[in-house]
Amino acid sequence: MSVQKILDLENLLAQRDRLRQENQRTVFTNGCFDLLHPGHIDYLSRARKMGDALIVGVNSDRSVRELKGPLRPILTQDERTRLLSGLDSVDYITVFDEDTPHRLIAALLPDVLVKGGDWTVETIVGRQEVEAAGGRVVPLPYLKGQSSTAIIERILHRYGREA
């Protein structure tokens, strides 16, 4: 695993600047990535193909609890970022603590902003800033039946809810 992929915002902006100087296209996506599954792998691989470097914003533990409820996340932000850092499709990772990645996207201004297909272009956070800077915004469809919630439900069903 490459822990060097996990950067704070200051170091991530420096990498983004270096990529721009080299005429490299940056792609950004974000999510909780609570339990890494085939849907995540497929989604991140397709996102990476839209540019030269994929930056992934990962919700902090606090923001996951806010979005998914008090029993989530299953894996801590350190565990989730370490898993993502092992993927070839992921070039850089940063953790954000806000409920949305708006501030992060506005700072990075990626060339391509990608979000899951359950979002329309109009509802994707950061769309206005990215488009105003000349970037594009792309919703990517998910693989059917692939989600952390579905995995948790499958485990609960197979092993009993009181386990």
Peptide bond into 73 cis (omega under 30): yes
pLDDT at 92 over 50: yes
- pLDDT tens, residue by residue, 47-85: 999 999 999 999 999 999 999 999 999 999 999 999 999
Lookup: tokens for 153: 């439900």
Question: What is the CATH number for 99?
Answer: 3.40.50.620
Q: Which helix (H) or strand (E) holds 66?
A: helix 61-68
Mean pLDDT, range 129-142, rounded to an integer: 95
Q: Which helix (H) or strand (E) holds 13?
A: helix 9-21
Do residues 57 and 27 lie in contact, with contact meaning Cβ atoms separated by under 8 Å?
no
pLDDT at 22 over 80: yes
Mean model confidence pLDDT for the chain: 93
The domain tally of the chain equals 1
CA distances in angstroms from 11 to 22, 81, 108, 122, listed in the order given = 17, 16, 11, 30
Mean pLDDT, range 114-141, rounded to an integer: 93
Do residues 109 and 133 lie in contact, with contact meaning Cβ atoms separated by under 8 Å?
yes
Domain that holds residue 50: 3-159
pLDDT at 146 over 90: no
Percent of the chain with pLDDT over 70: 96
Mean pLDDT, range 5-18, rounded to an integer: 97
